[in-house]
Amino acid sequence: MSNVKVAVVFYSMGGTNYQMAKWAQEGAEATGAEVKLLKVEELAPQSAIDGNEAWKATVEATADVPVATSEDVEWADALIFSAPTRFGNVPSQMKQFLDMQGGIWAEGKTINKVVSAMTSAQNPHGGQEATLLSLYTTMMHWGAIIAAPGYTDPVLFGAGGNPYGTSVSVDQDGNMVEDVEAAVKHQAARTASVAEWVRNGNQ
**31 has pLDDT over 90:** yes
Domain holding 81: CATH number? 3.40.50.360
- Model confidence pLDDT, tens digit, residues 67-118: 999 999 999 999 999 999 999 999 999 999 999 999 999 999 999 999 999 9
> 18: closest CA among 34, 42, 52?
42
Domain residues for the domain of 125 are 5-202
Using alpha carbons only, give the angle 161, 130, 176 rounded to the nearest 5 degrees. 50
Secondary structure (3-state) at 111: coil
Lowest-confidence pick of 1-10, 61-70, 127-136, 187-196: 1-10
**203 has pLDDT over 60:** no
DSSP labels for 126-162?
SSHHHHHHHHHHHHHHHT-EE---TT-STHHHHTT--
Torsion angle of the four alpha carbons 147, 152, 155, 159, in this order, in degrees rounded to the nearest 10: 50
User: What pTM, to 2 d.p., does this model score?
Assistant: 0.96
Q: CB burial class (10 A; 0-12, 13-18, 19+) of residue 79?
A: buried
Residue type at 41 in one-letter notation: E
pLDDT of residue 158: 87
**119-to-32, 64, 203 alpha-carbon distances in Å:** 25, 22, 33
pLDDT of residue 1: 53
Using alpha carbons only, give the angle 14, 34, 40 rounded to the nearest 5 degrees. 30
For residues 98 and 139, give the distance between their C-alpha atoms in angstroms, rounded to a whole number. 9
pLDDT of residue 10: 98
For residues 179 and 169, give the distance between their C-alpha atoms in angstroms, rounded to a whole number. 10
Domain count, the chain: 1
- Model confidence pLDDT, tens digit, residues 126-152: 899 999 999 999 999 999 999 999 999
> 147: closest CA among 138, 139, 155?
139
